Chains A and B, each alone.
Chain A
Amino acid sequence: MSAKNKTIEEKMNELRDMAAWFESDEFSLTHASEKFEAASKLAKEIEHDLSEMENKVTVLKQSFEEA
């Protein structure tokens, strides 16, 4: 799944995992800078997605009056 197709939920989970990596035993200085940059980018993407998304509200044409 490309980053563009990921849902907000998936992106939030990915970001949370990235933050957890910094606290984990898997942390390595070699990859930390690269990981931090990716996390910053993902956070900006989430913010953009959340700010832009709009609901589609449709009022049904059906009448619910008694036939």
Chain B
Amino acid sequence: MENEKAEIRLSVSDFVGLVNQTFDFAMPSIVIVGEVSGYNVRQEKWVRFKLKDERCSVDFFGSTYQVRQPLEDGMIVAVSGRPRLSDKYGFSVSIQSVRPVGEGSIKRGFELLKRKLEAEGLFDIERKRPLPELPGRIGVISSTQAAGYADFIKILNGRWGGMQVEVAHTLVQGVNAPGQIVRALEYFNQSGEPPEVIVLVRGGGDPDDLAAFNDEALVRSIASSRIPTLVGVGHEIDVTLADMVADVRAATPTNAAQLLVPDRRELIERSRTYVRSMIPAYQGHLNDDRREVKDLVDTAEFVISERMRVLTDEVASTIKLLRQYDPSVVLARGYALVRGDIDIGGVIEVERAKDIIQAEVRSVSKK
């Protein structure tokens, strides 16, 4: 009789319901780490696989939306999910999110997703847009507590000013980071006063810390941003898919600030250089003008002296010619000058170089 009281009799459906309620109460969400086996995607929508270790294996089920990371057998992953007893398919863990664990699996997951997105052309150079030359409004997505954010703001403020910088504070590591960053990207893209560029920055970390930036949904969200994007995540050697899909990739948060705005000190130096460059140009023109004036004076002097020489020669020639007509010169050459009436018996005067003779005309005959 007592055994009958302790016995709980349930229908199958009620039993399934009770088990699920118990799971919900005891394990509302749980993370299980194991090796993927039997990975299978049906109708490009439903994902099934097992997670196994040395002794056990457990079924997992979910949609491709939840399993953003392409997987393959052998990868070690951490699956966040809820245990479920299905009335049709038995026990499995309903997947909420999946992320590779350990350097090897993270690297493999990265390669698989990279290959997939590359095939879709998300990293094509033709998709890259230039950043605005001098942005007036900037949207920054980062954790305001992160060292990378502090570096970015410090360098940005040092290099340039006068900008409106709106910062969306989000997680930058962990399973919830991609979703928050995606919502921040959407916020800026849907803003009434959108920024001219969105900058996503995070400092360095181990591969697990940077895994958020290899999330497929995040990568797609960056690719579909209508506002140009600049991503500076990790150190120089770190490359994430977010970097690859961005319009411009910065090696570090500091480098992001350097790529985004010019250095005001360089501009100040350039403005001084402009002014300094005017002095030799000014001097050059002055020298040219002086040289031109000197050339003109030299030319004028030459022309005048030439003219003087020609005139002097002309005067000398004229004087020489006039001398030829001087009667005394002719007389000196032996000629004589005859004056008086040429009549028979008349007296004429014959002038020679050194004397004057008076003579009587005896005869006149025609030649």
Are A and B associated in one complex?
Answer: yes
Stretch at the interface among B62-70, B99-107, B160-168, B206-214: B160-168
B167 and A57 form a contact (CB under 8 A): yes
User: Most chain-A Cβ atoms within 10 A of its Cβ — which of B168, B184, B278, B289?
Assistant: B278
A1-39 with Cβ < 8 A to chain B: 7-9, 12, 15-16, 18-19, 22-23, 27, 29, 32, 35-36, 39
Q: Is the CB of B289 within 8 A of A22?
A: no
- Contact (A16, B187) CB under 8 Å given A54-B162, A60-B167: no
Known: A18-B274, A51-B264, A66-B176. A58 touches B164 (CB 8 A): yes
For chain B, the bracket of interface size reads: 35 or more
- Ordered nearest first, which 10 A-B pairs have the shortest CB separation? A53-B161, A22-B281, A53-B162, A64-B180, A19-B274, A50-B264, A43-B271, A64-B183, A57-B165, A59-B167
Give chain B residues whose Cβ lies under 8 Å from the Cβ of A9: 133-134
Q: Are A50 and B268 in contact (CB under 8 A)?
A: yes
Q: Tell me the bound Cα distance from A19 to B276 in angstroms.
A: 9
User: For residue B191, which residue of chain A has the nearest CB?
Assistant: A60
Contact residue among A32, A56, A65 (Cβ-Cβ distance under 8 Å from B282): A32
Interface of A is mostly: helix
Residue on B nearest A23 in the bound complex, by CB = B281
Q: Which residue of B lies closest to A53 (CB)?
A: B161
**Residues of chain A within 8 A of B285, CB atoms compared:** 22, 27, 29, 32
Identify 18 new A-B residue pairs, CB closer than 8 A, beyond the known A18-B278, A62-B168: A8-B134, A12-B271, A16-B274, A19-B275, A19-B278, A27-B285, A32-B285, A43-B272, A47-B268, A53-B160, A55-B156, A55-B163, A56-B165, A57-B165, A58-B167, A59-B167, A60-B169, A66-B180
- B318-362 interface bits toward A, Cβ cutoff 8 Å, 1 = contact, 0 = none: 000000000000000000000000000000000000000000000
Decide if B271 touches A47 in the complex (CB within 8 Å). Answer: yes
Q: CB < 8 Å: which of B162, B165, B184, B270 contacts A12?
A: B270
CA distance A9 to B162 in the complex (A): 13
The answer to whether B278 and A22 touch across the interface, beta carbons within 8 angstroms, is yes
By a CB distance below 8 angstroms, the chain A residues around B277 are 19, 22
**Cβ of B17 under 8 Å from chain A:** no
Assembled-state Cα–Cα distance A12/B272 (Å): 11
CA distance A57 to B257 in the complex (A): 14
- Chain B residues, Cβ within 8 Å of A43: 271-272, 274-275
Check B166–A60 contact: CB distance below 8 A: yes
The residues of A that contact B255 with a CB separation of less than 8 Å are none
Of B163, B264, B268, the residue contacting A56 (CB under 8 A) is B163
CB of B85 within 8 Å of the partner chain = no
Inter-chain contacts of B156 with A (CB < 8 A): 55
Chain B residue at minimal CB-CB distance from A22: B281
Closest to A7 in B: B134
Residue numbers in B under 8 Å from A12 (CB-CB): 267, 270-271
In the complex the two chains form, what is the Cα distance from A58 to B167 in whole Å? 6
A64 touches B184 (CB 8 A): yes
From 88 to 122 in chain B, residues with beta carbon under 8 angstroms from any chain A beta carbon are: none
State which residues 260-313 of B face A: CB under 8 Å: 264, 267-268, 270-272, 274-275, 277-278, 281-282, 285-286, 289
Contacts of B264 in A (CB 8 A): 50-51, 53
- Could you say which of B133, B168, B274, B282 contacts A15, with CB atoms under 8 Å apart? B274
Query: Known interface pairs A27-B285, A50-B268, A55-B157. Does A66 touch B179 (Cβ–Cβ under 8 Å)?
Result: yes
Contacts of A19 in B (CB 8 A): 274-275, 277-278, 281
